[in-house]
Amino acid sequence: MNDRIERAGLQVAAPLAQLIEERVLPGTGLDPDAFWTRTAAIFAALAPENRALLARRDTLQQAIDGWHDAHPAPIDPAAYRGFLGSIGYLVPPPAPFTIDPGAVDDEVARIAGPQLVVPVLNARFLLNAANARWGSLYDALYGTDALPGTPAGPGYDPERGAAAIAWGRDFLDRALPLAQGSWRDARWPVTLADPGQWVGSRGESQLYRHHGLHIELVVDADHPIGRDDPLNLADILLESALTTIVDLEDSVAAVDAEDKVAAYANWLGLMQGTLEARFDKGGERVTRRMAEDRRYRDGDGCETILPGRALLFVRNVGHLMTTPAVLLPDGSQAPEGILDAIVTSLIGLHDLKGLGTLRNSRAGAIYIVKPKMHGPEEVAFTERLFAAVEDLLGLARNTIKLGVMDEERRTSANLAACIHAVKDRIVFINTGFLDRTGDELHTSMRAGAMVRKGAMKAQPWIGAYEDRNVQIGLACGFSGRAQIGKGMWAAPDRMAAMLAEKGAHPASGATTAWVPSPTAATLHATHYHAVDVFARHAAQADEPVALLDALLTVPVAQGDWSREEIRAEIDTNAQGILGYVVRWIDQGVGCSKVPDLADVGLMEDRATLRISSQHLANWLLHGVVTREEVEASLRRMAAKVDAQNAGDPHYRPMAEREAESLAFQAARALVFEGVDQPNGYTEPLLHAYRARAKQERR
């Protein structure tokens, strides 16, 4: 991967140039020479500005650190807010306005439902997520703890199956009420209380619509379930993951040109409809492909065609990192976020021009989510970047739609101004509690020792943060025009708890929320049948926006902890760091279900790592813990993590080989160098250690 080709003054990794010139550019109408010349011009114009924005972050952080050093807790809210305004961290809010992103797909603007995030480097997961538009409610109930207990015996458990069927009938009574009686006692033909909910049929199966989402009743008298059912109902299919974010950022370990080429190639396969995954399942070789659209006919014979796949967004990286995939004329690495914007949009042309076998956006849009932006000036930079990419590709202005992750403190404190900076292309805002907590810890690092991780969700700032995201989105006209999102349910094995708790997201007015699996998407879809989100918007129209002072309340701890509590906190953080980092560094796994200290599997990515490492760094800085205590905990937890991964043949143990384990060294550096990491991000250290690990194995 050291081979490079010169293109318009850029040194481009040969495999990347080959991918673009041989597989991406053909059919787009773009000449390779012109493409590289315009790409070089974008880097020349915007790379210096990118660097200046990062320097601005450092300047602001130094000022905040100095203020906290001079103003120990308790913090005076008025003085603190005034200080943040004086340094430009806070900016005046814009006059009232309404976003106008133009033509967007219904899944973004006019239907509320679940959203998946999936790592771009795993083709099998990509296809599962893309095809998660439709999911079996029976399977989701039967195979998870959404129903009490577990299946009895190795085969089908009729008692559990009956419980799933009963749950499904109750769901139908709520979503598709009959004119008389219950779905439990119904026989065909049925009469709905609202006959307009019926859409059409596929064979004997019937399609209905509720709150904009579709429900298909699979009627099959020959099916093992359907043949014994009074309605011959073999399954209930729910329209589940309306949208999926294909992630090049937090959930992947992409550190070099080889990784970037693999990522872009998978995105190309999705846009062309050609991506496949082959794997062994149940002793058989399986080939998975993208699902076809679904066709139904109504009583007049008119055909309804529904998407068979989730509408795909792509999440680019943020402004921080650079990539060796492209070297600038001065020999420095290119900003990775600029390269992502150019290449993922170029690949998006395959969808816009109909070059593939399937279509993604029926509205003619390319959807890019941009994470980890700090405040309106960085969002405005992304606006200029996307405009430059549109000019490069010959696209009309605002064809590239933008999703803004509201996950950094300066962005959430200036959310209306951030939205205003991209008001004609924004289609998405989303709370990211995990990264937002990491930035909270780092921004206020010198204010004092922070509360324990488990207490963070009870702090005033988080309630204000979640409320303001919806309230400001609605005030800016998002309802019916763009998504308002909520963050991830991190426990994929705890679906009963998810069913009990995650209904709060649509109830809050959020039109989408993240889930960790296609199964979770199907179960979470039931929440959007329970709540008419757009009716909620009408009821929320006059709600005041939560106070900024609450958002800016620094979560400094009040009181002391026992030594047992401190040790438990150290161990919890250390185990979580090691459990995630060892897979990232040694195996290149950017997101996975990592067992916690109690052996409960939790979805971990760089955002969770950012919290744990910054939390320990904060407690070290303020003397709550000592370096020796953290070192001892890391060694103990290395043995714990080794035991948790004992069944993985690719796993490389850390315990008693800490000096040679790059994974252990990376985890250690994340803590002991945490105060000095830019905005507390983990990427610089992770990338450096992962690159070393890859090099050692070549």
3-state secondary structure of 120: coil
Judge contact between 191 and 178, C-beta under 8 A.
yes
Give SS3 for 430.
Answer: strand
158 alpha-carbon distance from chain centroid: 37
Q: Is residue 183 within 8 Å of residue 174, measured between CB atoms?
A: no
Q: What is the dihedral of CA 485, 491, 492, 494, to 10 degrees?
A: -110
Rounded Cα distance, 86 and 60, in Å: 11
Residue that has been written with the tokens 């971990």 in this structure: 604
CA-to-CA distance for 259 and 340, rounded, in angstroms? Answer: 13
Q: What's the token pair of residue 317?
A: 């990286």
Question: What is the helix, strand, coil percentage profile of the chain, to 5?
Answer: 45, 15, 35
Residues 32-48, buried b or exposed e (16+ Cβ, 10 A)? eeebbebbbebbeebbe
Residue 689: φ, ψ to 5°: -75, -35
Token digits of residue 31: 């000449």
335 vs 319: CA distance, rounded Å: 7
Question: Which residues, at least 6 apart from 509, have a Cβ–Cβ distance to it below 8 Å?
Answer: 470, 474, 484, 533, 536, 537, 540
Indicate which residues carry an active-site annotation: 315, 605
Give the three-state DSSP class for 155.
Answer: coil
Separation of CA 321 from chain center: 18
DSSP 692: H
Cα 490 from Cα 609, distance rounded (Å): 13
Assess contact for 517 and 493: CB atoms under 8 A.
no
Residue with tokens 């999911």: 135
Q: Can you name the residues that pair with 593 across neighbouring β-strands?
A: 603
Question: Tokens representing 434?
Answer: 């995990």
Residues in the chain: 698
**CB 529, CB 213: distance < 8 Å:** yes
- Between strands 311-315 and 366-370, the pairing is parallel
As given in the structure block, the two tokens for residue 243 are 């949208």
Give which of 204, 152, 96, 680 is closest to 445, Cα–Cα.
680
Q: Pull the structure tokens for residue 462.
A: 């988080």
